[in-house]
Amino acid sequence: MSFAPIKDGEFTSTIYGMIKEGKYNEVIRILQYEVQRAPTNRAALSLLGYCYYFTQDFINAVDAYSHAVTGYQPELAYAIALCHYRKKEYQQALKFITDIVDRGIKDHPELNVGMVTEGMDLRSVGNTMKLQETSLVEALNLKFAVEYKLKNFAGAQEALTDMPPRSEEELDPVTLHNKALIGIDTNPSDGFAKLQYLLSQNPFPPETFANLLLLYCKYEYYDLAADVLAENTHLTFKCLTQYQYDYLDALISLQTSPDEAFAKFDAMANEQMNELRSLTKKVQEIRQSNDEATARKAVEAFDETLELYLPVLMSQAKIYWDKGDYARVERIFRKSVEFCSEHDIWKLNVAHTLFMQEQKFKEAAGFYEPIVSKNFVTLLDVSAIILANLCVCYIMTNQNEEAEELMRKVEREEDDAREMDETRKCFHVCIINLVIGTLYCSKGNFEFGISRVIKAMEPQERRLGTDTWYYAKRCLLATIEAMSKHLVVIRDSVVHECLKFLGRCEVHGRGIPTIVDGPLSDGQVDPIKNTVTYEARLLKSLLLQVLDC
């Protein structure tokens, strides 16, 4: 062994000092020697596993931790689970996590694990030493990470609610970070506040910085993202990968120079495409040698690179999507077909692009159909706009029977869902009919289109919402405009139907906003005018004025 001898009585301080300085490989050599001398030295084995983990030698880390376990030690079981997670062996990680949680429930019922998920309102158990010894918080945060990675967001949410109850002030940084992530769609302002608070703490989860910046960009608060970057330059190199920095830089550039942003995205995309081509060739060569383990790793590397490539591609495409240049968007997607043709996100965005060009409904249906077929047993899990667009594609290509069959299937599922839960609101059939009604109005068939829209909104107390009202009022406005210009004559019965519909919207739309403020807006929208009731009265007034002309 080629390392300097350690003086008696200074072994622990020397080892921990070297670990603090990041000299993991030197510590590994010393500890390997110690373990050879004393194979059951748990302290040495535990530190050895720790050092292996930080050098990303996860296989040896698992081995060291496994040898250290004598009796059940939750902190070591968690360390093994973490190694499996880093190796992307998610099922093995979940196995150890489940074991930790089950033992926590059995040995410490007073910690109330899982009780919040079951709907109980419980007092905080506090951050006691007993809670720390169980590793329950760490294990459930790791479960959150696994489920979030696998896009099982309901499972991720459950992992957080399964935790022993604590007040928000008592939450550790990792739990607070995870709560911010899972709640960002339902309460963005609260999620931003949590992430901003974490950024002011030391230490904080290193992912916090990148996630805050990316979420600012998602909600188009580019100025705030730029400010955070400028104020925390010391974190840029510490917490962001080169890819993340380049991607954020391009996103922020969009505000001032779309052409410059496109060029930055293009440079990133070309780099990722070259990597994908190289990995494709590598996978093919390895498969010919029948080395399954190496082939699996190469496929995983390809998938990881593809996940980096897709956001860049979509950001490029969005620049022209926002300009309404759908033909250019289609050309961008065609460049990526060799790598992305089997990816659902790519297929969905291609479908939307073809749909918006209006002359390519048949091709659009060809991309929507596989997405719908994959979830045909539970169509309510498919976005309503996907189903609506597919129905429009069928109608525009004279496949009315297919459209009706799809709508009947969705309607049956909604009925079944309401039978199981009477309070559940289902908008799929409503949105499909609204989109079809909008289609007929856009083609000049206002009577049929408006009737379809009104029928879609029945009953108003269940169907009326910010999104559904948006589609309904567009059709009504288009109809009123066409009537005012004497471009169309609407039968009296249809006009009376519109007036009755608007009257019902007045009654049921009092508490429904027409514009939802952004999470960080300053509330400049007039609260009196920002209701369905106000807009319904306004439309009713306009319609009556047109009738009097």
pLDDT tens digits, residue range 308-334?
999 999 999 999 999 999 999 999 999
**Percent of the chain at pLDDT exceeding 90:** 65
pLDDT in tens, 347-389: 999 999 999 998 999 999 999 999 999 988 889 989 999 999 9
Helix (H) or strand (E) holding 19: helix 11-20
Burial of 249 (0-12, 13-18, 19+ CB in 10 A): middle
Tokens representing 35?
A: 């373990």
Q: How far apart are CA 30 and CA 422, in angstroms?
A: 66
Tens digits of residue pLDDT in 173-226: 999 999 999 999 888 889 999 999 999 998 899 999 999 999 999 988 999 999
Residue 148 CB contacts under 8 Å (≥ 6 apart), including other chains: 156, 178, 181, 182
Distance CA 524, CA 518 (A): 11
Q: Give the chain's mean pLDDT.
A: 90
Q: In 10 A of CB 531, how many CB atoms? A: 20
pLDDT score of 177? 97
Q: Report DSSP letters for 435-451, one per residue.
A: HHHHHHHHTT-HHHHHH
The per-residue DSSP string of 273-340 comes to HHHHHHHHHHHHHHHHTT-HHHHHHHHHHHHHHHHHHHHHHHHHHHHHHTTT-HHHHHHHHHHTHHHH
Q: 485 by DSSP, 3-state: which?
A: coil
Residue found under tokens 């050098």: 55
What sign results for the dihedral spanned by CA atoms 36, 38, 40, 43?
A: negative
Q: Are 546 and 483 in contact (CB under 8 A)?
A: yes
What pLDDT shows up at residue 544? 93
- Tokens (6 digits) for 529: 């005018």
Going by C-alpha positions, the residue among 340, 220, 188, 331 that lies closest to residue 276 is 340
7 burial level (CB within 10 Å; 0-12, 13-18, 19+): exposed
- Is omega for the bond preceding 370 within 30 degrees of 0, making it cis? no
- Residue in 77, 10, 9, 72 with CA at minimum distance from that of residue 49: 77
pLDDT computed for residue 519 by the predictor: 64
SS3 at position 397:
coil
Region 277-291 average pLDDT: 85
What Å distances lie between residue 503 and 94, 385, 457, 540, 543, CA to CA? 55, 27, 13, 8, 12
Q: What is the pLDDT of residues 460-503, one digit of tens each?
A: 888 898 889 999 999 999 999 999 998 988 999 999 999 999 99
Residue 522, pLDDT score: 55
The pTM of this model reads 0.79
Distance CA 80, CA 50 (A): 10
Copy the structure tokens of residue 347.
């297929």
For 348-392, give the DSSP string.
HHHHHHHHHTSS-HHHHHHHHHHHHHHTGGGGGGS-HHHHHHHHH
Domains of the chain in sequence order: 342-426 (1.25.40), 439-549 (no CATH)
Q: Cis peptide leading into 5, omega within 30 of 0?
A: no
What pLDDT, on a 0 to 100 scale, did the predictor assign at position 1?
A: 43
The continuous run of DSSP H or E covering 538 comes out as helix 532-548
Give residue 188's identity as a one-letter amino acid code. P
Tokens of 139: 């294990």
CA dist., res. 128 & res. 85, Å (int) = 27
Q: If you search the block for the tokens 């860049």, which residue do you land on?
A: 312
Q: Residue 123 has what pLDDT?
A: 82
Beta carbons within 10 angstroms of residue 417's beta carbon: 16
CA–CA gap between residue 408 and residue 415 (Å, rounded)? 11
pLDDT in tens, 93-124: 999 999 999 989 888 888 888 777 666 677 88
Nearest-angstrom CA–CA distance, 298 and 116: 42
Reading phi first (left if > 0) and then psi (alpha if -120 to 50, else beta), residue 5 is in beta
pLDDT digits (tens, 9 = 90+) for 420-443: 887 777 889 999 999 999 999 998
Q: Which residue has the tokens 């009196």?
A: 528
**Given this model, what pLDDT does residue 158 score?**
94
Distances (CA, A) of 141 to 111, 227, 451: 16, 30, 51
Quickly list H helices, 171-291: 173-182, 188-199, 207-218, 222-231, 233-239, 242-253, 258-288
Confidence class for position 25, pLDDT limits 50, 70, 90: very high
Place of tokens 């429904």: 512
Ramachandran assignment for 9, one of left (phi > 0), alpha (psi -120 to 50 degrees), beta (any other): left
